[in-house]
Structure 1
Amino acid sequence: MPRTWSGNSGWALTYARDRLTLAVDGAVEELVGADAARLRVARRWKGTCLVLEPADDAPRRRLTGVDPRDAREIRAAVTRIVTRGKLRDALALAAHREQVFHRLLATRVRKQRWIAHDDAATILAGLPRHADLLALLSPAERADLPRHLSADEQRALAFLAQDHLARVGAANDEILRRELIAGREFFARVERSPLTAEQARAVVSYDNRVRVIAAAGSGKTSVMVARAAYALRRGLTSPDRILMLAFNADAARELQERVDARLDALGLPHDGLRAATFHSFGLSLIAEATGRRPAIAPWVESGTDVEKVQEIVDRLRDSDLGFRFRWDLFRLLYGKVSGAPDGGDHDSYDPATGVSGFATYRGETVRSEGERLVADWLFLNGVDYRYEHPYPHNVADRAHGRYVADFYYPDADVWHEHWALRADGTAPFRGYAEAMAWKRRVHATHGTALIETEWHAILDHTGFEALARDLESHGLTLDWNPDRPIPGAEPLEHERLARLVRTFMTHVRSGALTRSALEERLASTPALDTPRTRLFLELYWRIHERWQEELAAIDAVDFDDMLRRAAELVERDPGLARWDLVMVDEFQDTSRARARLTRALLRGRGTHLLAVGDDWQAVNRFAGADLSVMTGFSAFFGPALTRRLQTTFRTSQTVADVSSRFVSRNPAQITKTVRAARGPGGAPVAVVRVERHDALAGAVEAHLRRLARESRGTVDVLGRYGFDRKLVPTVQLPGLDVRFRTVHRSKGLEADHVIMPNVTTGRYGFPSSIVDDPVLTLAMSADDGHRHSEERRLFYVALTRARQTVTVFTVAGRESPFVLELLEDPDVEVRGTSGEAEEVRVCAGCGEGTLVRRSGRHGDFYGCSTFPRCRETARVQPAGGTSR
C-alpha cells in the first residue's frame, strides 16, 4: 500500500510500487530498485535524519526531522525495494520459464512423447542459479526475504531451487511406463522375438544423445531396428531422415536388409532410410556438397597400404643416402630399445654362463640394452670383439674379484667399458661411480688401452660417432653393412617398421594431428622426448609428405582424409545434416575422425543420436579406434542418457559369469551385470593342457571327435593369429560344422562351441608379448593404463562367441597369464587331453607361471615356468606333492 512520510524540515518521502519518491525544496527524485540503497536512516545527536548519497559528484544531503516512529518503516521500505530490485528481473524470468517448463512436462506426459534434454535445456537456459541469487543479498536481506517477496515471487524463487533435470527424469519415467503399456503389441512384433524390457526402454528413451552399453549377444541390432520403427510409428520423423552407420560393408548390408524387412512386416514406410558404412556415407556427402565424388587411393581401397609405405621407403632409400642410413639405424639398432637407462625386459638366457639379458645379432646374451646396442653396432660394422673378456692381469683384491671388461678388440688389443650413465651423469645404483674409477685405475696402472661409452650418448647416436673415431684411431676398420647376414637375434624387419609407420600415420591423420601438435605432445610427455622418438619422427614426416604427394598425383584421398573433409563440410554448412535420427553401431570402435563426423551431424535440438556399443569389446585401438569417445561420451557429444542391455541371448550364465569376471579385472571397464536369458547354469569353461606345443593339433582333433559323438552344431576355432589355422584338423566330422577364424574376425558372430587352440605365453601368445612401440603413444588415444587391456577385451570377445561350451587349449609350463587367471575361477575346469581332471599349481613366487617338473644336478625339482625371470623352486615329494 502507498505510504508517505514527512519531516519538519519540509521534505516528503512516498513509497509506492517498489519505488521511493523524495520531494524536497521543490525538487523530486525517484529511487527505484537497488538505487534505493542510496537512502538510509541515521541517528545523530540532534535526532534521527535521512541521508541521501549522491548519484554523481553532488554533495551528500541530510534531511532532519524524521519521526523515530517512522524510521523503522522507512528502513523496511528501503530494504524491501533494494531486495526486490536485486531479484526482480531474475524472478520475473523464472516465473515465465516455470510456466513454460510446467507446460512442456504436462503436455509431453499427456501425449506420451519423450522430453529430450535439449528441449528442457532451451527453456532453462539463462536462468540464474538459486544460490547465486541469494549471494546477491546481505544476511539481513536473506533473513527477511519471505516478507519482501510476493507469493508469485516466492514460487519463482523456489522453482530456481529445484532439480529441473530430476523433474524431467520423473516425467520421462512416467512417459516410459505409459509407452511400454500402450506399445506392448508393437514391442512384441517389431522384431522376430519380442523385445525385452531393457531393449524396449532403450527404444522409447528418445533423447538427443543416448549411449547404449550392450553386453555381448544382448540384441543391440534389435534396438536399432526397433528405434527406427518406433520413430516412424510415432510420427517423430520420416524414413529419409533416419541414418544408420556401421563399420563395415557386411554389417551395413545386414542392417539395411533387416530394417527393411521388419518395417515391411509392420507396414511402415522405409523409402529413403539408409544404412551405410562411415566411408560410403562420407564419400556420398562430399559428392553432394561439392558435386564431385572423391576417389579413394587404390592402395588404400585394396588394403595394400603397408606395401605402399614400403614402396615409398624403398624409393626414399634409393634417392637419399641420409634417409637410408637413418632408416637402417632405427630399424637395426633402435627398433627394439626401451630407452630406459636400467634396461627393458630381458629377452634371452644363456644356460652356459647363466646370464639373463638381451640377445645380440651375433648370438650371445649381454646384460643390458646399452651393451646390446654396442654389440649390434659392432657386428653391423664388421668389428671383431669379445664380450666380457677376462683381463690378462690379476687385479683381484679384498674389494674386487676377477676383472672382465664389457668388450675387448683382439685385432687392436683395446678394451672397452660401456657405462650405464644418464645424461645428467647419474649412475643406476650406489657404488657404480666407485667401480668406474677402479676400472680406470686398473687400465692406467697396467698401461692397457681403454675406450669408454655412455648409455645416454649411445641412445642418441653421438656415442657411436665417438666410438667410431676411437676404434679407427686404434687401427680398426669399420664397414657398415645393414644387409649383413645375421645369425643371432632377429632385427626389426622392413615390413614391421613399415607397418609401424602406417599405424602411426592412421592415428595422426584420424586425429588431424600436425607437426606442431605432436611437438606439443612431446613437450607435455618428457619421457617420450628421446633421440629415438626424434629419429622416428624425422623418418615419419618424410614418408608422410611423400604419401601426400602420391595422393595428389592421382587426385585421390585416403579414408582419414575423406572423413575429415566430410566433417569439415558439414561443420561449415549445417544444412548438409538433414537427418533427425542418427544411429551408430559398434560405437566402442569409433575413431576420432568418425566421432567428429558424427558430432557434425547433430545440428541442434531437433536431432537424436543413438550410439550402441560395448566397451568390453573394444579391440581396434591399433586401427585408430578411441575408446574414450564412448567412455567419455558426454564430454564429446554433450549431456547424454545411458541405457544398458545386460541380458545375453547367446551364452550360458556360466560363460557370462566367467567372461564378465575376467574382463572386469580391468577397473577402467564400464560396470555391467550380464544375465543369460536362458537362466542359470551351463557347462564350465574347460582348460585343456598338453605337454608339448606340437601336441596341440592332436588334442584339438580329439576334443572335436568327442564333441561329434556327444552333440551336433557349429564349432568356431578362434586363433589369436591366422597361423593358428594349422591346429584345425582337416577331417570332416559328422554333425559338426567346424570353422576357423581369428578372434578379431569373430566379432558379431557366434557358434555352439568355441575352441581357442593356442592360449600360451610368448611373443605370439595370447596375450601377445609384442608390445606397442612407445612412439605410438604420441599419436594414439590414451589407453586405460591396465596391463594387456586390449588383449583382455579380445579374449573376452572369444569367450562370448559361444552358445554352449568354451574350451581353451594351452601347453603345460607355457600357460598364458589369462589361463592362470581362469584357473582361479570356480566355473573353470582343468582337463588333460583325455578329458580327465587335472590339478595345476600356480607359482607362489611370481603368480605368473606354473610349477613344472625339471631335472637338475641334485635330481628332480619343481621350477617356475617363467624361468629365468622367476627362479622359484619346490622340492619333489615321494608321493608326488610339492613343498617350498
Structure 2
Amino acid sequence: MHEAWSGRGGWSLTRDDDRLTLTVGDETEVFEGVDAGRLTVRRTWNGLALHVTGEHPRRLPGLTRTDADAIRAAVTRIVTRGALAAPLAQAVETHAALERLLARHVRAQRWVPYDTVAALLDSLPTRDDALAGVPADARTHLETHLSPGELRALAFLDGAPLARVGQANAEIMRRELAAGRSFFTRVEKAPLTLEQARAVVTLDNRVRVIAAAGSGKTSVMVARAAYAIRRGFVRPERILMLAFNSDAARELQERVDMRLAALGLPSEGVRASTFHAFGLALIGEATGRRPRIAPWIEAGTEVEKVQEIVDELRDSSLDFRFKWDLFRLLYGKVQPGGAEPDSHDSLTGVTGFETYRGETVRTEGERLVADWLFLHGVDYRYEAPYVHDLFDRDHERYRPTFHYPDADLWHEHWALRADGAAPPGVVGYRETMKWKRGIHRKHGTALVETAWHEIEDHSGFEALARSLEEHGIALDWNPDRPLPAAEPLEHERLAHLVRTFMTHVKSGALTPEDLEARAAAQPELDTPRTRLFLDLYWRIHERWQAALAEADAVDFDDMLLRAAELVEQEPSLARWDLVMVDEFQDTSRARARLTRALLVGDSKHLLAVGDDWQAINRFAGADLTVMTGFGDLFGPALTRRLQTTFRTTQTTADVASRFVSANPTQIAKGVRAFRGPGGAPVAIVRVPRHDALAGAVRTHLERLSEAGEAGTVDVLGRYGFDRKLVPARRFDGLDVRFRTIHRSKGLEADHVILPNVSSGRFGFPSTIPDDPVLRLAMSEDDGFRHSEERRLLYVALTRARRTVTLFTVAGRESPFVLELLEDADVELRSEDGQAVTEEVRVCPGCGEGTLVRREGRFGEFYGCSTFPRCTQTVKV
C-alpha cells in the first residue's frame, strides 16, 4: 500500500506497507517498525506539524487535518506491527511446533503431559508481554492494525496453547478408551468404571485422584501400572508404588503381580513398598550402609522411650524435675483464652474448676493457686467468710479467695491481665478491689495478693511462697502427693504429647528458631507456658538424638528426611518414571519432600490417590494441605475423581456425604453407589443408661442372627476400651470383630456397629482438648469445629456394605448424633429395634447438648446434658 503526504517547506512523507520515508530537501530518512514511533503529529500555534524525535529533533509544519489523521493511523499501525513482529513470529513458530507435537501424540494415542508442553512454551511471551510495546490507543483496536493471521497468532499467546492441549488429550482419551475396551474390562477382576479408566489413561506429570471410600483406588493404581507397561510408556522396573503400611504395600505388590500375569504382561521390577522400607533401601544404596531403625521405634515403644529419657533427666537435673512437674501438675490443663468449666458444687452453687483437693473454684487462676497450695501441703480454706460480718446494701458477706487458718492470713487472687486490665464485661472490678483492700486495712487483717498474669507465667508463685513463709506457713513441695480429686496430666500423657510434638518437629525439619518465630506470630501461644514446654522439649529432643547415636540407629522421620536429602543431592537416584502414592491425604511433610525429590528430571509422572474426607491421622504427622494444596507443592496438576463406591448402599453414602460435607473446606464430591439407589436407613439406637449399651449391642446382634443377616460385623469403637461393649459369645451366621475406627481404615464389613456415640470427655467427638503447643509444630487445621472427629465418623460409616447402627445414651447423645437425626435417611430406634418418634430436644444454648429433665431447689427444669460446660436451663 502506497500513501504520500507533504507540508510547507518542501518536506514529504511516503508510506509503502510498513515503511515510512521522510524527505526534506536532499535528505532522506527511513522509519520501520517501532522506529516509526519517532514520528508524531502535534498542534502548534500556527497549525498542525509533523515532529521527528531523536538525535536531531525537527518540526515540519503545514499538515492538513486529514493528512494528520492518516499519518497518525499509519504510524500506529507500523509501530504496532513492529512491536508485535518478533512475538507473533515466535507464536506462529511455536504454534506450528505444538500442532506437530499434538498430532504425534494423537497418532500414538499417548497422553500429552503438561511438562512437555511447558518446555515447548517456556520462552513464549504472554499476550500482555507482547503488547507492552504497543501504543495504548492501539491495544483496544488491534483488528484494525493486524491481519487475521496475526490476530490468530496473538490469540495463541492468550491461553490458546493449553486449550489446544486439552482438546488433543480429550481426543486421545476417546481413542484410548475405545481401543482399550478389552483391557479395561480384564485388567482387574471387575471391569473398570469409566471414571477409573479415565484416571488410568490420564498419564500426565502430576495427577491427583480424589477417591471416595470404596471407589476402587487400588484398582486404579494396579491398572495404571499395567496400562503404562502394556502401551510401552514405562518399563516395569521404573514403576514405584508407595503405601503407608506393610499390609497395603503387600496387597499392592500381590495385586500387580497377579493381574499383570493374567494379562501376560511382565511385572518383574515393579516395586510396591512402604515409605519407610523404601527410604531405608534408598539410603543403603546411596551410602553403602543401610541404616538401622531404633529398636524402640520398631517395637512401638516410643512413648516409653520418652518416659525413660524424662526419668533420667529428672534424676540428673533438679531444674528439669521441677519444671516437668510444674508443667504436668499445674499448667497441663491451662488453655489459651481459658478452659471450659468442668465442675459444679451443688451446695454453694459455684460452677467452675475442680481442684486436686476436691472443691470447685470459680476461675482457672484460682485452681492453679489452690493446686499449688495443695502440692505444698498448705492448709487453706476457699472463700471462707471474713472474720468480721460486713453487710451493706452494695455488698454481700465478704469472702476472700483463700484463708490460711494456721497463720490467720487472707489471700485475694485478682483476675488481672499483664496490662492491669480487669476481666472483660465485669463492671466495677477495680472499685471492688479497692473496697476489699480497705476492709483489711480497717480491721488490721493480714492480706497477700496474686494476679492471674503472674500465676499464668508462674512468676507469681515465688512471691507467694515468700509471703507465706514470712507469715510462718511451711511449704513442702511434693509432686507425688496423693490427689483425692481432680486428675493431673499424667506422666505418660505428657510423654505422649512430647512424642507427638517431636514427630511434627522432625517431619517439618523445624528448628528452635522456627518454633520461636511461629510462637511470635501467634500471640495466644507466645506465653510462659509455651516457653516452659519448649524448654523441656528441646532437652528431651537432645537426649533422644543422643540415644539414636548411641544405638547407631535412626527414627523414621530422620530417615525420610535423610532419604529426601540424598535424592535432592543426587537426582540420578530417582530412577522411577512412574511414582504412585496411596492414601495421599495421610502424607506427612517428610513423605511429601521425598516424593517431590523423586520427580526431578524429564518424563516423571506422579499419581497421588487419596480422600480428604478420610484424613484422620493429623496427630500421627499427616498434613492434609499436602493433598488439598497439591499444586502448590508439586506443580501444575490434573485432578480426577472416583465417585462411584462399590461398598456402601446409596443411603449410607448419602448420609455419610452430607454429614462430612457440613465442613465447607472439604473437597466436594458426588458419591454414587454402584449397586444403585436405596438401602437400609442408618439406625441410631438410644438406651436410657450407659450401662445398658452392652446389652443393647448384644440384642442387636441377636436380631441380625435370627433374621438370617449372615455376614461380617465390625464393632468400631472410638477408643480401645469400647471393646468391653462387645459380647463374648458367638452369634450364628455372624463373624463379629472389634476394631478402633482408626484401625478400620481400608477395611469393610457387611454390618457396622458403633457401640458408644455419646458425649463426654471420652465421647465421640472426643472433648479431650488438644494441647495448644501442638499448633506450633503441626500443620494448621481447617478451623471447623471437630473437623477430624467428623472425618473419623465418616470413615466409620463408610466401612459398611449393608447396615450401620449407632448406639447412644439418652441425655448424653453426641452432638454428631443430634446432627445425624436431622437427616431424613437416619432412623431413631429403641433397644428392641422399633422406630421411635420421640423428639430429641437440642440445647438452645450450646447447640451440642440435649435438654434433660432435672430436679432443683425450685422444682423440675430442663438442663443441658453438657453441664457444667453449658448452664442453659429451660422451664418445664
Please, what TM-score do these two structures have when normalized by structure 2? Answer: 0.95
For residue 252 of structure 1, the aligned residue among 240, 249, 253 is: 249
Residue of structure 2 in register with 1:758 after alignment: 756
1:168-179 equivalences under 5 Å are 168-179=165-176
Residue 306 and residue 82 in structure 1: after superposition, are their counterparts in 2 closer, same or farther (change >3 A)? same
Residue of structure 1 in register with 2:111 after alignment: 114
SS at match of 1:702: helix
Residue of structure 1 in register with 2:377 after alignment: 382
> Aligned equivalents of 1:269 and 1:455: distance in 2?
71
Residue 556 and residue 156 in structure 1: after superposition, are their counterparts in 2 closer, same or farther (change >3 A)? same
- Cα deviation for residue 450 of structure 1 reads 0.8
Residue of structure 2 in register with 1:557 after alignment: 554
Cα deviation, 1:291-344, whole Å, max 9, x if unaligned, reads 22112111112211111111111111111111111111101100011143xx32
SS at match of 1:582: strand
SS at match of 2:383: strand
Say if 2:635 is the partner of 1:660: no
SS at match of 2:835: coil
Residue of structure 2 in register with 1:297 after alignment: 294
For residue 722 of structure 1, the aligned residue among 711, 720, 723 is: 720
Of stretches 845-854 and 86-95 in structure 1, the one that deviates more from structure 2 is 845-854
Residue of structure 2 in register with 1:731 after alignment: 729
Say if 2:464 is the partner of 1:467: yes
> Aligned equivalents of 1:793 and 1:43: distance in 2?
73
Q: State the one-letter code of the partner of 2:54.
A: P
Of stretches 367-376 and 86-95 in structure 1, the one that deviates more from structure 2 is 86-95
Residue of structure 2 in register with 1:786 after alignment: 784
- Cα deviation for residue 467 of structure 1 reads 0.5
Residue of structure 1 in register with 2:844 after alignment: 845
SS at match of 1:389: coil
- Contact kept, 8 Å, 1:653 with 1:676, in 2: the verdict is yes
- Contact kept, 8 Å, 1:845 with 1:870, in 2: the verdict is no
Residue of structure 2 in register with 1:269 after alignment: 266
Residue of structure 2 in register with 1:395 after alignment: 390
Residue 869 and residue 29 in structure 1: after superposition, are their counterparts in 2 closer, same or farther (change >3 A)? same
- Contact kept, 8 Å, 1:453 with 1:467, in 2: the verdict is yes
Residue of structure 1 in register with 2:454 after alignment: 457
Of stretches 21-30 and 154-163 in structure 1, the one that deviates more from structure 2 is 21-30
Say if 2:339 is the partner of 1:344: yes
1:281-292 equivalences under 5 Å are 281-292=278-289
Of stretches 65-74 and 670-679 in structure 1, the one that deviates more from structure 2 is 65-74
Residue 432 and residue 147 in structure 1: after superposition, are their counterparts in 2 closer, same or farther (change >3 A)? closer
> Aligned equivalents of 2:859 and 2:323: distance in 1?
52
- Contact kept, 8 Å, 1:843 with 1:872, in 2: the verdict is no
- Cα deviation for residue 23 of structure 1 reads 6.7
- Cα deviation for residue 690 of structure 1 reads 2.0
> Aligned equivalents of 2:63 and 2:829: distance in 1?
102
> Aligned equivalents of 1:384 and 1:64: distance in 2?
107
> Aligned equivalents of 1:332 and 1:145: distance in 2?
75
Residue 65 and residue 856 in structure 1: after superposition, are their counterparts in 2 closer, same or farther (change >3 A)? closer
For residue 199 of structure 1, the aligned residue among 175, 191, 196 is: 196
- Cα deviation for residue 73 of structure 1 reads 6.0
Q: State the one-letter code of the partner of 1:355.
A: V
- Cα deviation for residue 131 of structure 1 reads 4.0
> Aligned equivalents of 2:828 and 2:252: distance in 1?
40
Of stretches 833-842 and 383-392 in structure 1, the one that deviates more from structure 2 is 833-842
Alignment gaps of 5+ in structure 2: none
> Aligned equivalents of 1:442 and 1:692: distance in 2?
51
- Contact kept, 8 Å, 2:84 with 2:134, in 1: the verdict is no
SS at match of 2:544: helix
1:539-618 equivalences under 5 Å are 539-618=536-615
- Contact kept, 8 Å, 2:760 with 2:866, in 1: the verdict is no
Of stretches 223-232 and 11-20 in structure 1, the one that deviates more from structure 2 is 11-20
- Contact kept, 8 Å, 1:395 with 1:442, in 2: the verdict is no
Residue of structure 2 in register with 1:497 after alignment: 494
Residue of structure 1 in register with 2:356 after alignment: 361
Residue of structure 2 in register with 1:880 after alignment: none
> Aligned equivalents of 1:693 and 1:258: distance in 2?
44
- Contact kept, 8 Å, 2:753 with 2:804, in 1: the verdict is yes
Residue of structure 2 in register with 1:627 after alignment: 624
- Cα deviation for residue 508 of structure 1 reads 0.5
Of stretches 11-20 and 73-82 in structure 1, the one that deviates more from structure 2 is 11-20
Residue of structure 1 in register with 2:688 after alignment: 691
SS at match of 2:695: helix
SS at match of 2:736: strand
- Cα deviation for residue 733 of structure 1 reads 1.8
SS at match of 2:371: helix
Residue of structure 2 in register with 1:404 after alignment: 399
Residue 392 and residue 64 in structure 1: after superposition, are their counterparts in 2 closer, same or farther (change >3 A)? closer
Of stretches 136-145 and 560-569 in structure 1, the one that deviates more from structure 2 is 136-145
> Aligned equivalents of 1:659 and 1:49: distance in 2?
78
Residue 27 and residue 320 in structure 1: after superposition, are their counterparts in 2 closer, same or farther (change >3 A)? farther
Of stretches 614-623 and 649-658 in structure 1, the one that deviates more from structure 2 is 649-658
Residue 17 and residue 302 in structure 1: after superposition, are their counterparts in 2 closer, same or farther (change >3 A)? farther
- Cα deviation for residue 665 of structure 1 reads 1.5
Residue 576 and residue 32 in structure 1: after superposition, are their counterparts in 2 closer, same or farther (change >3 A)? farther
SS at match of 2:824: coil
1:502-541 equivalences under 5 Å are 502-541=499-538
Residue 266 and residue 445 in structure 1: after superposition, are their counterparts in 2 closer, same or farther (change >3 A)? same
- Cα deviation for residue 160 of structure 1 reads 2.3
- Contact kept, 8 Å, 2:76 with 2:135, in 1: the verdict is no
Residue of structure 2 in register with 1:413 after alignment: 408
- Cα deviation for residue 579 of structure 1 reads 1.4
1:89-168 equivalences under 5 Å are 89-134=86-131, 136-142=133-139, 145-168=142-165
Residue 100 and residue 474 in structure 1: after superposition, are their counterparts in 2 closer, same or farther (change >3 A)? same
Say if 2:766 is the partner of 1:768: yes
SS at match of 2:698: helix
Say if 2:225 is the partner of 1:228: yes
Residue 46 and residue 251 in structure 1: after superposition, are their counterparts in 2 closer, same or farther (change >3 A)? closer
> Aligned equivalents of 1:165 and 1:410: distance in 2?
83
> Aligned equivalents of 1:603 and 1:97: distance in 2?
25
Alignment gaps of 5+ in structure 1: 876-883
SS at match of 2:400: strand
Q: Aligned Cα RMSD in Å?
A: 2.4
Q: State the one-letter code of the partner of 1:569.
A: L
Residue 713 and residue 45 in structure 1: after superposition, are their counterparts in 2 closer, same or farther (change >3 A)? closer
Cα deviation, 1:33-75, whole Å, max 9, x if unaligned, reads 32232234567688876543234xxx43456788999766655
Residue 4 and residue 423 in structure 1: after superposition, are their counterparts in 2 closer, same or farther (change >3 A)? same
Say if 2:418 is the partner of 1:423: yes
- Cα deviation for residue 394 of structure 1 reads 1.4
> Aligned equivalents of 1:390 and 1:291: distance in 2?
76
SS at match of 2:384: strand
- Contact kept, 8 Å, 2:336 with 2:524, in 1: the verdict is no
Of stretches 857-866 and 700-709 in structure 1, the one that deviates more from structure 2 is 857-866
Say if 2:18 is the partner of 1:54: no
Please, what TM-score do these two structures have when normalized by structure 1? Answer: 0.94
- Cα deviation for residue 843 of structure 1 reads 3.2
Of stretches 122-131 and 635-644 in structure 1, the one that deviates more from structure 2 is 122-131
Residue 463 and residue 10 in structure 1: after superposition, are their counterparts in 2 closer, same or farther (change >3 A)? same
Residue 863 and residue 48 in structure 1: after superposition, are their counterparts in 2 closer, same or farther (change >3 A)? closer
- Cα deviation for residue 416 of structure 1 reads 0.4
1:641-656 equivalences under 5 Å are 641-656=638-653
SS at match of 1:170: helix
- Cα deviation for residue 82 of structure 1 reads 1.9
Residue 42 and residue 476 in structure 1: after superposition, are their counterparts in 2 closer, same or farther (change >3 A)? closer
Residue 808 and residue 79 in structure 1: after superposition, are their counterparts in 2 closer, same or farther (change >3 A)? closer
Q: State the one-letter code of the partner of 1:624.
A: G
- Cα deviation for residue 432 of structure 1 reads 1.0
Say if 2:238 is the partner of 1:241: yes
Q: State the one-letter code of the partner of 2:743.
A: R
Q: State the one-letter code of the partner of 1:801.
A: R
Of stretches 499-508 and 598-607 in structure 1, the one that deviates more from structure 2 is 598-607
> Aligned equivalents of 1:199 and 1:798: distance in 2?
24
